[in-house]
Amino acid sequence: MVRKHRREGPKWTDIAIVFLTIGIVFLAFMQHKDLVDAGIQTDRIICADERLAKAMEDSVSQAQKSFDAANKQASLTERAWAIARPRLPEPTIVNIGRTPAFEVTALGMLYVSQGPIPDIAKWIESQKDPFGKEKAYIGVLFPGQPMGAHLPGISTGSSPNADPEIRNGRKMVYLILQVDYFTLDVHHISRSCGVWIPDASGFDPGKGCRTWNYVD
């Protein structure tokens, strides 16, 4: 007699294990998804913070630039401006600014050339100690105050027109000046130059003098 084996169905424990496994996998997937979402959200927050920090940095930088520009403009408006005016028998130093100029000194020379000097600045650079060591010490120069600067390098007992070669243009007379001073605790320099014009009996800042004329 042959016995037939009956096929048995899955046990409930096997089914439970399958469902448990599926549940664990699902929970792990959801946890991973939450972590990914949290990571994305964190990245978004970090990016937002970075944008905010950059915007604040730009605002501070712009404010600093505005402050520096306003401060510079105020300094330019309120500072001293000491300049030299080429004149004979001695040049005049005048403060055309709004505050006093301190430690004002001047250098100068009167030079007679056999012809025009195209570039006074280059000519000065080519000379060894062109002004000499003696300075005119003026000290404090108040706003609007002119001061004569007696300089050893500038000495003439009469008008340059007394020389016929200067009067007829064969010789050129240059008056070259430099002023050093302090304003608002900053050192400044102004340079001026004039070429003698016989018909006007005065100095003109043009021609080769343009390269020397300067204020800072």
Digit-coded pLDDT (tens) for 87-128:
888 899 999 999 999 999 999 988 999 989 999 999 999 988
The helix or strand, by DSSP H or E, that contains position 31, with its residue range, turns out to be: helix 12-78
Please calculate the CA angle 138-140-145 and round it to the nearest 5 degrees: 90
Average of per-residue pLDDT across 181-210: 91
Please calculate the CA angle 203-206-208 and round it to the nearest 5 degrees: 105
User: What does the domain layout of the chain look like in residue ranges?
Assistant: 10-78, 82-215
Instruction: Name the β-bridge partners of 95.
Output: 82
Residue recorded with tokens 């301190």: 102
Give the integer Cα–Cα distance in Å for 193 and 121.
Answer: 10
Number of C-beta neighbours around residue 163 at 10 A: 16
Number of C-beta neighbours around residue 21 at 10 A: 10
CA proximity to 209, closest of 122, 146, 130, 83? 122
Instruction: Name the β-bridge partners of 106.
Output: 136, 179
- Top mean-pLDDT range of 33-37, 53-57, 162-166: 162-166
CA proximity to 108, closest of 29, 53, 181, 179? 179
Whether the CB-CB separation of 104 and 141 falls below 8 Å is answered with yes
Give the integer Cα–Cα distance in Å for 206 and 96.
Answer: 21
177 falls in which pLDDT band (50, 70, 90)? very high
For residue 140 the two structure tokens come to: 């404090």
- Top mean-pLDDT range of 22-31, 47-56, 73-82: 73-82
